[in-house]
Chains A and B, each alone.
Chain A
């Protein structure tokens, strides 16, 4: 609070405050950010929460003044940062369109001209005439977005507003941005957590972390670095293997590629062999082994980790062994590993008595990473074998 008063007093009386050094308890929200954007280009800003992305947008919008450095903006700026700013709950949608439009800088004449188009985009039907407080959160966002999108600025700042709204709405907004906005030579600065949206919309990207620009360049490169950093932080793959194994029971588990090399990174569709090394001091009857792949990767949003992606069990496959003693290994061959991309933690099981009796369960004892194939961009998590043909016959 006191810093605030001091700042205001200094600004009012024209005292040049030293804003280049930090006072106690202050930190640089953004440091050393430096880039240039030409007309018609679009740039994405990605990074973890709290890295300074929204602060950067606010600085570009002229809300925060830089304490050090210089920002130069050529053209009219529009922002999709706060949806529904200035909405009064008691007033109807129609009246709020005029208010919000005026706040965003449109004149009454402009709003009149675009009114029908705005209402059409928002798709709220008869609710246009009822007070905004009765709107569902989705309708609220749709209306706010519809108004903001019709501003026709030269530069558009978008801040994670696409995160709300249903799927239909998100697709509509993205389509509008890529078709209408980009086509008109509008420049876009896009902050989003959806990597697919950023790939679609932006040619360049910046990776921000803790206020610093970590990488700037082509979208695919920057996204790659970002995902790499997340993986390194979590370090799931680096966890010590064989930590959970015993001297008795299953002693080791390895993954082999088709040449027999021990690896734990495979490409989607690769041939994989899994070897379960065992050591039984006493005789074991009808032993069977199993492995379950649990998707455990912060970079991807897959089903919850209580659903298993893939499961193998020698007993289900009727791979019967009467009894076993001593040391050796079980091996299972998977012709093509077509499971979702990502890091997996494996659960390993040892049963006896025809898988009636669970002898051991090994958790966090093995992990595996499945990577996407090299020859095409990753658009989904799963690959499947497929073949294209074409014919000139007319359809049914």
Chain B
């Protein structure tokens, strides 16, 4: 059966609901490419590098160490955490990094791919997803470290830890969604890439990654819907229950909707990217 393709201006807009089938179909066809790009970036990191992939373990130590010291010196006042602080911070940081590195590398994925975007025809979502896969892989490495910490601090995690991957999903989808939009915009306005790195730095402080949320109502902290996405997996791992299920539920729904919307927009606008990047 022969493939027939038609290129017309505004073709995408005439398709309506069928566009979803096309989007899913495309990604399925190119699933091997996603794997190859991911494997490529992974092996490239190993070559000619002493630390290689274990580099991602370095950053948590520095961050946690600094915060503990500041707390000890009285500069920062971190409330009591339900488990030993290093463990709390490590889990929080690892989960946060899925979002942060995912967003950072995702936003720059189209620009960084160079000739791939302007000269070859393939669904560009593949690039964003491959960089997200990289971020998830780094999390898996940190997860091993978390298990080691559980052992060191003699803290037994709840059995519900098996549900942990599912609880992480909204965060992953949110990251992919935002990456898709940001990579698109970064293609035309290069400052976006830099802005994202900068904003992420400060966003980390506004999210309960390295500290627990205060019980009073601080509006900005409350509106940050990243908090439940980070807290919930952490609580599930340690306690076995999600403390604010409604909050988490709303945040998950928002994340999923954002992802679907972002994917749709990306697919529609994809054709304009090679012209401008």
Contact = CB atoms under 8 A, between A and B. Distances in A.
Nearest to B276: A4
A14 B13 contact: yes
A356 B274 CA distance: 67
Interface string A1-36: 101110110011110100100000000000000000
Interface string B194-214: 000000000000000000000
Interface string B9-28: 11111000000000000000
A4 B9 contact: no
A221 B209 CA distance: 72
Contacts of B47: 90-91, 131
9 contacts: A4-B272, A7-B269, A8-B184, A11-B269, A58-B119, A59-B7, A61-B120, A63-B118, A88-B40
B120 A82 contact: yes
B33 interface: yes
Complex A-B, nearest 5 residue pairs according to Cβ-Cβ distance, in ascending order: A4-B188, A4-B276, A82-B119, A12-B265, A71-B7
A67 interface: yes
Interface string A60-96: 0111111111111111110101100110101100010
A199 B42 CA distance: 46
Contact of A95 (B6, B40, B188): B40
B12 A11 contact: yes
A81 B274 CA distance: 14
A11 B14 CA distance: 12
Interface stretch (A104-112, A288-296, A384-392): A104-112
B119 A63 contact: yes
Nearest to B122: A103
B13 A16 contact: yes
A75 B2 contact: yes
Interface string B48-82: 10000000000000000000000000000000000
B217 interface: no
A351 to B, nearest CB: 59
A370 to B, nearest CB: 42
Contacts of B33: 102-103
A227 to B, nearest CB: 30
A13 B266 CA distance: 10
Nearest to B12: A11
A69 B116 CA distance: 26
A66 B9 contact: yes
A334 B271 CA distance: 63
B110 to A, nearest CB: 12
The DSSP consensus for interface residues of chain B is helix
B49 to A, nearest CB: 9
- Interface bracket on A: 35 or more
Given A8-B188, A73-B5, A99 B40 contact: yes
B13 A105 contact: no
A98 interface: yes
Contacts of A79: 119-121
B189 interface: yes
A339 to B, nearest CB: 43
A38 to B, nearest CB: 14
A357 to B, nearest CB: 62
Given A58-B119, A62-B121, A65-B11, A91 B43 contact: yes
B116 A103 contact: yes
B119 A90 contact: no
B268 interface: yes
Given A72-B4, A73-B5, A85 B185 contact: no
Contacts of A64: 271, 274-275
A74 B4 contact: yes
A105 B84 CA distance: 50
B7 A62 contact: yes
Given A5-B188, A63-B118, A95-B43, A102 B6 contact: no
A163 to B, nearest CB: 16
B3 interface: yes
A8 B122 contact: no
A85 B269 contact: no
Contacts of B9: 19, 65-69
A1 B4 CA distance: 34
B5 A5 contact: no
Contacts of B269: 7-8, 11-12
B188 A70 contact: no
A108 B32 CA distance: 8
B43 A70 contact: no
A64 B276 CA distance: 10
Nearest to B264: A12
Given A62-B5, A75-B3, A105 B268 contact: no
Contacts of B268: 11-12, 14
A5 B189 contact: yes
A91 B43 CA distance: 8
A64 B119 CA distance: 10
B16 to A, nearest CB: 10
Nearest to B49: A90
B106 to A, nearest CB: 17
Given A8-B276, A68-B9, 8 more contacts: A1-B276, A5-B185, A8-B188, A11-B269, A11-B272, A58-B274, A86-B116, A88-B40
A143 B142 CA distance: 38
A19 B116 CA distance: 26
Contacts of A107: 32
B36 interface: yes
A204 B250 CA distance: 62
B7 A66 contact: yes
